[in-house]
């Protein structure tokens, strides 16, 4: 960097950053902090408490340090991301409750049918051994619940709810993945979208290569070579 540019932009920025961080981090500032901190104010406390306070201050300052350095996005965008993720999770939960209610309703309907059938069973059928009787109850329960569940799962209205639940889950996953991408990018770690673009290119190159190989081995191609 040219000295003039350094003086004008970088040095000023660095100085201001240090000044801002000096109360909160282990960086020794040139000026005294504008306000006291636990580690700076507890002059009579044992040394180990001061060290501990300094460590905690440093850890707490880390997200802000990252934001100031431009890592992880601005505080506003991070807040928005977390807000969107939270809203998405709530939407997902609402869909989940909706689907669960339909399952519960089906269970209750099946249970009512089972009780009705058991009541209708003859005294002779009921007067079998306890094991056989339990088996009969179980078989009736399975038959009723299977029928009711089959009806529910075939219902287009319920299918639409299932699809909506899946969609909300995918929204949350997509939001979470995009937030992770931002952090990976800031840490210079290859992201999924970057790797996917490489995969796509490799796939397309393989296809082209395969086409060249098959055209190269075709009879027309070999005749051309002989000529």
Footprint of another protein (CB under 8 A): 138, 142, 145-146, 149-150, 153-154, 156, 159-160, 162-163, 166-167, 170, 173-174, 177, 195-196, 198-200, 202-204, 207, 210
**Residue 66 or 99 having the CB closest to another protein:** 99
- Collect all residues with Cβ–Cβ distance below 8 Å to 171 and sequence separation of at least 6: 88, 91, 92
Closest contact distance (angstroms) between CB of 165 and another protein is 11
**Residue 55 or 198 having the CB closest to another protein:** 198
Cβ contact 165:96 at 8 Å: yes
Cβ contact 178:78 at 8 Å: no
Closest contact distance (angstroms) between CB of 155 and another protein is 8
Cβ contact 169:88 at 8 Å: no
**Residue 8 or 207 having the CB closest to another protein:** 207
Q: Is 29 exposed, middle or buried (0-12, 13-18, 19+ CB in 10 A)?
A: middle
**72 secondary structure, DSSP code:** T
**Residue 207 or 224 having the CB closest to another protein:** 207
- CA-based end-to-end distance of the chain: 61
* CA-CA-CA-CA dihedral for 214, 218, 221, 222, to nearest 10: 120
Closest contact distance (angstroms) between CB of 66 and another protein is 27
**Residue 7 or 194 having the CB closest to another protein:** 194
Closest contact distance (angstroms) between CB of 70 and another protein is 28
Closest contact distance (angstroms) between CB of 143 and another protein is 9
Q: What angle do CA 163, 165, 170 make, to 5 degrees?
A: 95
């Amino acid at each position: 960097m040219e000295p003039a540019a350094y003086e004008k932009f970088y040095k000023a920025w660095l100085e201001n950053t240090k000044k801002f961080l000096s109360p909160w981090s282990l960086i020794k500032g040139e000026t005294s902090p504008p306000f006291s901190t636990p580690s700076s104010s507890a002059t009579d406390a044992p040394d180990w408490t001061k060290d501990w306070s300094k460590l905690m201050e440093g850890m707490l300052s880390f997200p802000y340090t990252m934001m100031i350095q431009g890592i992880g996005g601005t505080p506003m965008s991070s807040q928005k991301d977390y807000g969107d993720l939270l809203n998405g999770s709530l939407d997902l939960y609402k869909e989940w409750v909706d689907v669960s209610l339909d399952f519960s309703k089906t269970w209750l309907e099946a249970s009512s049918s089972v009780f009705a059938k058991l009541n209708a069973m003859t005294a002779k059928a009921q007067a079998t051994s306890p094991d056989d009787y339990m088996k009969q109850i179980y078989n009736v329960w399975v038959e009723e619940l299977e029928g009711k569940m089959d009806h529910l799962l075939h219902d287009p209205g319920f299918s639409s709810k299932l699809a909506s639940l899946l969609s909300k889950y995918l929204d949350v996953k997509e939001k979470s993945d995009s937030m992770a991408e931002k952090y990976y990018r800031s840490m210079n770690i290859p992201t999924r979208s970057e790797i996917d673009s490489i995969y796509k290119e490799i796939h397309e190159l393989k296809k082209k290569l395969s086409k060249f190989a098959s055209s190269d081995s075709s009879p027309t191609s070999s005749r051309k070579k002989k000529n």
